[in-house]
Amino acid sequence: MTTTIQYADVEIGTELPAQEFPVTRATLVQYAGASGDFNPIHWNEKFAVEVGLPDVIAHGMFTMAEAIRVVTDWVGDPAAVVEYGVRFTKPVIVPNDDKGATIEVSGKVAAKLDDGRVRVDLVATSAGQKVLGMSRAVVQLA
């Protein structure tokens, strides 16, 4: 495990570089194939509306995968993430146009733990709505 960030160099409140992740219908079709989750609410508008959704929504696991990139890009080695959990609070709604939706993610060090570990709290929003709750990662630093 090799991280570019040193435990001694971070403080509670240290902010990680925020990122924005675009998501279109094509992204969702590709993610469905790669993940094996072919639930039609993620690609079929007619089906999504029939089950009471406003439109096609992104896979929660897609949003979770994007959010942790704020951490893995920060530390360099993705294996530094030793724990990662989220609550799916609101769906990311993905309109059928060439713009799609955007997931905005920020993170900051919320606690310094034992053995060179820190807890990073993430905030993920889309269209002004918080889409993940209790989004936390425990990261092993050098």
Partner 1 sequence: MALDQSFVGRSYPPTDPYEVGREKIREFAEAVRDTNPAYVDPEAAKALGHSDVIAPPTFVFAITFKAAGQVIEDPQLGLDYSRVVHGDQKFAYSRPVRAGDRLTVTSTIEAIKSLAGNDILDIRGEVHDEAGEHVVTAYTKLVSRAAEGA
**Other beta carbons less than 10 A from residue 2's beta carbon:** 9
Q: 35-40: long-range contacts at Cβ-Cβ below 8 A with a sequence spacing of 24 or more? A: 35/59, 35/61, 35/62, 37/61
38-67 binders of partner 1 (CB under 8 A)? 60-62, 64-66
Site membership for partner 1, residue 69 (CB under 8 A):
yes
**CB under 8 A: which stretch of 5-13, 79-87, 104-112, 122-130 binds partner 1?**
79-87
- Of 72 and 106, which CB lies nearer to partner 1 in the complex structure? 72
Minimum Å gap between C-beta 13 and partner 1 is 24
Site membership for partner 1, residue 26 (CB under 8 A):
no
- For 110-128, give the DSSP string: EEE-STTEEEEEEEEEETT
- Of 13 and 99, which CB lies nearer to partner 1 in the complex structure? 99
Question: Residue 140: what are its φ and ψ, rounded to 5°?
Answer: -90, 120
Q: Which of 108, 111, 131 is nearest to 121 (CA)?
A: 108
- Contacts with partner 1, residue ranges (CB under 8 A): 1-2, 21, 27, 30-31, 33-37, 60-62, 64-66, 68-69, 72-73, 76-79, 81-88, 134
